[in-house]
Structure 1
């Protein structure tokens, strides 16, 4: 999807934006005497996108390496002496550049528009197949010679397109929570800090008409309640301009969520009487509905395309009401809960007795045993590839058995994996996920695993909005990562700080619940309904890279095993992303999301 495009005409840079997306407010072009800029998304505040774009351009004109401002954006800035390509740290909006011999030839938000279907980079597919996180934080793209601007990265070019530098910048300094050594960081103080950070994150994300996804869980309900209680300047009088978007199930396992959903909507409307609940009947939707379209038409392979039918139905309802932002509760599980890799830090520093005591407490407050806790949060971060290989040996005999995040799936041909660096990709991915200090790396990794937004990006021209996630805001993440484990960990009470932060808002039924029904039923229905079609898709695939990469019959066997309920979330994820890759390669020659018209952005006089 070409939301913006930078090209060189007669040796001079020319910046273009999609006229339709500009009218929708998804793209903000600005020009001053300093130069011209195009910002996809928003900088600073979703309500004043023009001011944020001008501030970004003025900052670039001063030539200082200032911290990146908060927001969800990708931007191209053309000043008098240089060109800057940049994305915010959370990297919700994509940006790519085509490079050859140290010179950039074109820049776009669409990787397909820059790449050639005949020049694919097999290394990318090895990175993509290693796990949830490989795609967004890797420079590689599916196409040779096309690179990704990474989250928090600033790419500097000369006015003729010569690549000068690629540097990482952090966001603005955020509020520091109370100092634990000063005795000011109990649960109440931590909850107050988190509440302030969340209120600020929600307020900056609210637009003229804001939709909040509400599921009846602590996370989404808390965000919607904060939006309902936001100052009138942010949400309108008595909640005008606030839409409460929910998918409702009347049968199956997910029907048990209905009473919580009703309680959440009632409480939100009590705070914002003019808020408009929009209930989408989701009984007929299942995972993998219209899978070739959702997976095949994406700009690049979309590992979570199997869940797109449910989200697409909700997005369509919000689009009909003219919403310009949609807030979710994504990210709360890894961000706002106790950090389990604190156990690894205790083991690494020789505090084995304390680690054992806390592992027992952790197990007592969850459905896992002590051995499972130690293996997952102590052994695996220390030896990730070896731990997974050992698990695969214990669970051999099936295609999906023992298949974790880094192991080579049995349907990925050994020769292809060896030739194109699958093992190296697995090592690089494990280092990103765990790093030298897994208790800190958890937050960086959570940004990519919690909110896969490719569906939002693909549908944006039709819907008129992007998803945005307050729990992944840099200030919220910084607040949680600096809290000591003694404050965040409460056995049997997940997300204790978050619960305390919104305790005065949540209905009692939601405040006290500790278990939420997962979407396993939706996934099982989808496999039962579409399993034969997925197998047929694999067997009928004609792209030469598919048979070079995959043992197709082995992949089909994995689909059959998943239909029988074999495997776990890790192995199903590996199968889902492989199926999405098959569908994507089969429709690779189709260009999707090209704008119907483009408007030039020129510097003001």
Structure 2
């Protein structure tokens, strides 16, 4: 990582800081690392963590601090025995022993694809995750002194007064510009798909870079996957228009269009799923992203920006209906539910069930759905209930029910309208596959829409400012009205990325079934009823089930491939204690 510039190390009289990622601004990572070292230099001080995508180790004369940014963009793990920490790494696999796995982790993982980043457990016994926004204090000999969740240096208070010159769109535009500006490096790549989200990020990047081009501000790469046939070929005109609009602002921007017609989900699945640091439920989509990221790496990009997170963050918060119901404003809730139903072609009952009833009783709602859809393996299978291929004995022995309860509380919480943002953030980060490839690729993957300032801005806005029937992401459209091409600004739907999944599952279904049946790792047979899991794969091939049940199958298949990819013999673990050098 040091060779590819992913690590910044600074020393001062107070101590030494090793920062993976960046704090404050990507362009001046040295200044950010020095500021972080200085902020925590005084013992007992608890300053808020700066905005950034980072994991850091701060070594002072009398203590060592381990920390991660509040959005958990960069992974960080420690190996602990009793009250002593012997090693720290951005890789759980680098610290763990394949012969000593943690079954409770796998129960938590199998409750849903958000179950990893916000839980302390790792796949390996004795290896623990440092949580997003957490600061862990050690003595210089590695003895654990304490751990606490820090704050992030961004205002999250109540809504500010909105004046004629400070409309919701203006507020979001300002926050998004700051978020993009913080992430600009020497060579920046932007994912561009032709949608509102990625095009907005690319346009703001082009605008900011063009404003400083005379000083050599940086190079812009427009990174896109292009489909020439099938449903996704319909996105091609929007993609071309997005590229044209960006190049109008920054003529030097280089489009890198990768033909993706021959890419399908689950291509080389065993390789991709086994290569991740932890099991990764979205490993099936790695072939597409790997092709794009290989192109970015070949061009020497140091940061890649995406439009990830815009759907939950800048769209109207659907769990506002739950807040209205909690506060007894049932008539207002019913009226807004009708408006949502009309704009989304759903029934009012479906809207209320999804955004009012289910958040209040998530496990009960899933049990009722399972009872109502008997007859298939995938019928009615939601996010939290035990999938029928997970053996009841394993689930009971290792806390699956408690894991499901904990995950449902995280996803919805006492105030689902707030939990939505936390869930969106942890769904996007960290991506174990992208991070596993980061030392080779040499770039950071970053998401401006999930920046704390953007999230705080959207949290402050009143519901009536964000919801416009028939116009999703209304505030973003207003914010970008002067830059977005009309055809992209006015589109209200996008072709879903389901065709590569359908093709991949049909093409590789037999291989996936064989993977399960030939698995030799003892934990696979202990966890799964292989026959039932194979039936679930066959049902998914036939198009049965829904996105939630397919996620459960995908996650289980990724776990099987990951376990099969573990080495038969682990390297010897380092000693129980490794003293940390004191800075002189």
Q: TM-score, normalized by length of structure 2?
A: 0.96
- Give the equivalent residue in structure 2 for 1:8: none
For the residue of structure 1 that corresponds to 2:3, the secondary structure is helix
Query: In 1, are the aligned partners of 2:192 and 2:198 still within 8 Å (CA)?
Result: yes
Asked if 1:583 corresponds to 2:564, the answer is: no
For the residue of structure 2 that corresponds to 1:407, the secondary structure is coil
CA RMSD of aligned residues (A): 2.0
Shift of residue 369 of structure 1? 1.4
Asked if 1:519 corresponds to 2:497, the answer is: yes
- Give the equivalent residue in structure 1 for 2:78: 97
Query: In 1, are the aligned partners of 2:209 and 2:218 still within 8 Å (CA)?
Result: no
Mapped partners of 2:238, 2:93: distance in 1 = 42
Matches within 5 A, 1:275-424: 275-424=253-402
- Give the equivalent residue in structure 1 for 2:543: 565
Query: In 1, are the aligned partners of 2:358 and 2:365 still within 8 Å (CA)?
Result: yes
Mapped partners of 2:366, 2:400: distance in 1 = 15
Q: Is the alpha carbon distance of 1:379 and 1:570 closer, same or farther for their aligned partners in structure 2, counting shifts above 3 Å? A: same
Query: In 1, are the aligned partners of 2:26 and 2:183 still within 8 Å (CA)?
Result: yes
- Give the equivalent residue in structure 1 for 2:108: 127
For the residue of structure 2 that corresponds to 1:22, the secondary structure is coil
Q: Is the alpha carbon distance of 1:416 and 1:349 closer, same or farther for their aligned partners in structure 2, counting shifts above 3 Å? A: same
- Give the equivalent residue in structure 2 for 1:184: 163
Mapped partners of 2:403, 2:569: distance in 1 = 29
Asked if 1:213 corresponds to 2:194, the answer is: no
Mapped partners of 1:526, 1:586: distance in 2 = 21
Query: In 1, are the aligned partners of 2:210 and 2:249 still within 8 Å (CA)?
Result: no
Shift of residue 174 of structure 1? 3.0
Q: Is the alpha carbon distance of 1:476 and 1:560 closer, same or farther for their aligned partners in structure 2, counting shifts above 3 Å? A: same
Q: Is the alpha carbon distance of 1:267 and 1:535 closer, same or farther for their aligned partners in structure 2, counting shifts above 3 Å? A: same
Selected match of 1:53 from 8, 15, 33: 33
Asked if 1:456 corresponds to 2:437, the answer is: no
Shift of residue 482 of structure 1? 1.2
- Give the equivalent residue in structure 1 for 2:223: 245
Mapped partners of 1:171, 1:431: distance in 2 = 23
Matches within 5 A, 1:24-103: 24-63=4-43, 64-103=45-84
- Give the equivalent residue in structure 1 for 2:574: none
For the residue of structure 1 that corresponds to 2:488, the secondary structure is helix
Q: Is the alpha carbon distance of 1:234 and 1:458 closer, same or farther for their aligned partners in structure 2, counting shifts above 3 Å? A: farther
Mapped partners of 2:382, 2:212: distance in 1 = 44
For the residue of structure 2 that corresponds to 1:516, the secondary structure is coil
Mapped partners of 2:517, 2:460: distance in 1 = 50
Mapped partners of 2:285, 2:569: distance in 1 = 23
Shift of residue 237 of structure 1? 6.2
Q: Which runs of 5+ in 1 are unaligned?
A: 1-20, 593-599
For the residue of structure 2 that corresponds to 1:326, the secondary structure is strand
Q: Is the alpha carbon distance of 1:215 and 1:183 closer, same or farther for their aligned partners in structure 2, counting shifts above 3 Å? A: closer
Query: In 2, are the aligned partners of 1:36 and 1:602 still within 8 Å (CA)?
Result: no
Selected match of 1:106 from 83, 87, 90: 87
Deviation by residue 1:388-420 (Cα, 9 ceiling, x = unmatched): 110111111111110111011010011111111
Query: In 2, are the aligned partners of 1:331 and 1:451 still within 8 Å (CA)?
Result: no
Mapped partners of 1:80, 1:545: distance in 2 = 44
Shift of residue 54 of structure 1? 1.4
Query: In 2, are the aligned partners of 1:86 and 1:149 still within 8 Å (CA)?
Result: yes
Shift of residue 58 of structure 1? 1.4
Selected match of 2:98 from 100, 109, 117: 117
Shift of residue 463 of structure 1? 0.8
Q: Is the alpha carbon distance of 1:61 and 1:232 closer, same or farther for their aligned partners in structure 2, counting shifts above 3 Å? A: farther
Deviation by residue 1:359-391 (Cα, 9 ceiling, x = unmatched): 000011113211111011000111000001101
Mapped partners of 2:543, 2:156: distance in 1 = 46
Query: In 1, are the aligned partners of 2:274 and 2:561 still within 8 Å (CA)?
Result: yes
Q: Is the alpha carbon distance of 1:235 and 1:519 closer, same or farther for their aligned partners in structure 2, counting shifts above 3 Å? A: farther
Q: Which runs of 5+ in 2 are unaligned?
A: 571-578
- Give the equivalent residue in structure 1 for 2:131: 150
Q: Is the alpha carbon distance of 1:295 and 1:354 closer, same or farther for their aligned partners in structure 2, counting shifts above 3 Å? A: same
Mapped partners of 1:590, 1:581: distance in 2 = 16
Could you tell which deviates more after superposition, 188-197 or 420-429?
188-197
For the residue of structure 1 that corresponds to 2:85, the secondary structure is strand
Mapped partners of 2:437, 2:348: distance in 1 = 44
Q: Is the alpha carbon distance of 1:469 and 1:479 closer, same or farther for their aligned partners in structure 2, counting shifts above 3 Å? A: same
Q: State the aligned residue count.
A: 577
Mapped partners of 1:115, 1:178: distance in 2 = 46
Shift of residue 565 of structure 1? 0.6
- Give the equivalent residue in structure 2 for 1:136: 117
Mapped partners of 1:490, 1:132: distance in 2 = 30
Query: In 1, are the aligned partners of 2:194 and 2:238 still within 8 Å (CA)?
Result: yes
Asked if 1:474 corresponds to 2:472, the answer is: no
Q: TM-score, normalized by length of structure 1?
A: 0.92
For the residue of structure 1 that corresponds to 2:167, the secondary structure is helix
Query: In 1, are the aligned partners of 2:502 and 2:541 still within 8 Å (CA)?
Result: yes
Q: Is the alpha carbon distance of 1:283 and 1:330 closer, same or farther for their aligned partners in structure 2, counting shifts above 3 Å? A: same
Query: In 2, are the aligned partners of 1:228 and 1:235 still within 8 Å (CA)?
Result: no
Mapped partners of 1:153, 1:213: distance in 2 = 30
Mapped partners of 2:301, 2:57: distance in 1 = 26
Asked if 1:159 corresponds to 2:126, the answer is: no
Shift of residue 184 of structure 1? 3.5
Query: In 1, are the aligned partners of 2:21 and 2:444 still within 8 Å (CA)?
Result: yes
For the residue of structure 2 that corresponds to 1:23, the secondary structure is coil
